[in-house]
Amino acid sequence: MNYTRTALLLAALTAFVLVLGWMLGGKTGLVIALLAAAGMNLYAYWNSDKMVLSMYQAQPVDRTTAPVLVGIVERLTARAGMPMPAVYVIDQPQPNAFATGRDPEHASVAATTGLLAMLSPEELEGVMAHELAHVHNRDTLIMTVTATLAGAIGMLANFGMFFGGNRDNGEEGGGGLGTVGTILMAILAPLVAMLVQMAISRTREYEADAAGAEICGNPLALASALARLEQGAGAIPNAVAEGHPATAHLFIVNPLTGSGLAQMFSTHPSMADRIERLQALAGFTAGPARSAWGGGKTPGPWG
């Protein structure tokens, strides 16, 4: 159900890019919108992981430089039957982690020094299992596509503001919004894109929590880690994330400070809800030979 919802939301966002282009510039605007969305996604497909790792000054580590972290990732990937991703550490006191990469064969996972200092080995295992679940589910690619589509919408809205919209330019099927319509679209379009991006991100977080609990076999350890990370992230600012809020959806917990309206529009679902779901999952899988992915099966990484 979550995969279907994600596909529908992505399709809706793509359609919105094209409709916006047509409304602002008729057939020419439609072509511009299509080329912009395709070009941005193609660039992001090949370069998004390098960009975000460089942005946060992530440093690659191995068994010599980070034996505990790398050892945990090796055990989890072997258990899940996944390729071993590149492992990075970010010199950042805020406890957090993220995954990036276009597919499981070209993936990276990164943890902050604050995360490594705060969590127990069991909790750290739960967090890294969550990130590996994102990699397995190709959420990193889904969210890259979503972010670039949202960026294309913002670019088109700015384009419409600059050129004043398509004012009856004689093109058959043109939008012809006019000045007032263009201003309204420039305000509302990015808001719609943000809401769709938020909905997709929240859906994938729930899925990664469940799959991560399956990989590590300890939903309560992940629930405990989430509670501690939310508290730590709220108390310790992340200056890079604050300067690049479009990357917030990558992290396991929201790296941005704020409350009230800012939290309402967060890319992450309610932490209380996530923890409650993991606790329920722990109760469901407590019996012998039960799996979170279907009754009557021996627990395994992917059911």
Q: Which residue has the tokens 């890319």?
A: 267
Answer yes or no: is 171 within a domain.
Answer: no
Answer yes or no: is 292 within a domain.
Answer: no
Active site residue 207: no
Catalytic residue among 74, 105, 122, 131: 131
Residue 123 has a pLDDT of 97
Residue 173 has a pLDDT of 45
145, 189, 193, 218 from 155: Cα distances, Å = 15, 10, 12, 44
* Residues 6 or more apart whose Cβ sits within 8 Å of residue 180: none
> Residues 54-60: what's their mean pLDDT?
96
What is the extent of the structural domain holding 246? 2-162+179-280
Max mean pLDDT range (48-62, 109-123, 130-144) = 109-123
Answer yes or no: is 117 within a domain.
Answer: yes
Tally of domains within the chain: 1
Answer yes or no: is 144 within a domain.
Answer: yes
User: Residue 276: which of 238, 220, 230, 237 has the closest Cα?
Assistant: 220
Is 268 annotated as belonging to a binding site?
no
Per residue in 82-112, pLDDT (tens digit) is 999 999 999 999 999 999 998 899 999 999 9
Is 134 annotated as belonging to a binding site?
yes
Residue 2 has a pLDDT of 52
**Average pLDDT over the chain, rounded to an integer:** 80
Answer yes or no: is 120 within a domain.
Answer: yes
Per residue in 227-252, pLDDT (tens digit) is 999 999 999 999 999 988 878 888 99
Residue 20 burial (CB count, 10 A): 26
Answer yes or no: is 294 within a domain.
Answer: no
Residue 129 has pLDDT above 90, yes or no: yes
Answer yes or no: is 172 within a domain.
Answer: no
Residue 264's pLDDT band (boundaries 50, 70, 90)?
Answer: very low
CA dihedral 73, 53, 206, 41 (to 10 degrees): -130
Per residue in 130-181, pLDDT (tens digit) is 999 999 998 888 877 777 777 777 777 766 665 555 444 444 444 555 566 6
Answer yes or no: is 296 within a domain.
Answer: no
**Strand pairing class (107-112; 97-101):** antiparallel
